[in-house]
Amino acid sequence: MSSPPLDLTARLLLTPQDPEGPARAARLKELGFHEEPVAQLDAYAHELARITDAPVAAVNLIDEERQYFAGLYDASVDPAKGPVDPNGGFGREMPRNLGFCVHVVARRTALVLEDVRDFARFGVNAVVDEVGVTSYLGAPLIDPATGMALGTVCVVDTRPRPWGQQGLRTIKKMAAEVQQEIVRGRP
């Protein structure tokens, strides 16, 4: 009896496949998350940016087609205009195929990229050249009711960062706090 041929193409995909996308989108709606910023999640993002000294931090919810930053802090945005300027800065929404959070959701584990350019899979992502992301640290938001990763808590920087074990502990701790808020329903 012969085994089926080995399909290596899935390992080469820059954006992981996401069979849970429709169920995740439905669960996020069930929890009360739609397409608007959440002030409490913006506060979590701001606190995470402060703790890690990163210029951008986010609570990122991922559906079938896109990533939505329900919580976002972007230091490049004029604070007089509020926590996020919809016409500038990092922005609230990104296609699913950009960035690194989709990898965290697919893996259901934290991802530490001190310099994304050191990894062929990540260094060719458009956010490296278009947005200037050089360093990434993210952890999944796991829904205890379904076991699905609903999104991430992440920080990015435009310079390489030695996040180390302290950064990993910090991002996991913040993800656990945010996760509790999310599963209670819309904060």
Look up residue 158 and give its two tokens: 């435009």
pLDDT confidence of 173, banded at 50, 70, 90?
Answer: very high
CA 40 to chain centre: 17
Pick the closest to residue 100 from 76, 78, 121, 72 (CA basis). 121
- Work out the pLDDT band at 168, boundaries 50, 70, 90: very high
For 94, list phi and psi in degrees, rounded to 5.
-145, 145
Q: What are the tens digits of pLDDT across the range 2-36?
A: 556 654 444 444 778 888 999 999 999 999 887 78
19-183 folds as Beta-Lactamase (3.30.450)
CB atoms within 10 A of CB 57: 30
**Domains of the chain: which residue ranges?**
19-183
Segments of 14-109 assigned E as strands: 56-62, 66-74, 93-95
pLDDT in tens, 102-140: 999 999 999 999 999 998 888 888 888 888 899 999 999
Amino acid identity of residue 62, one-letter, is: I
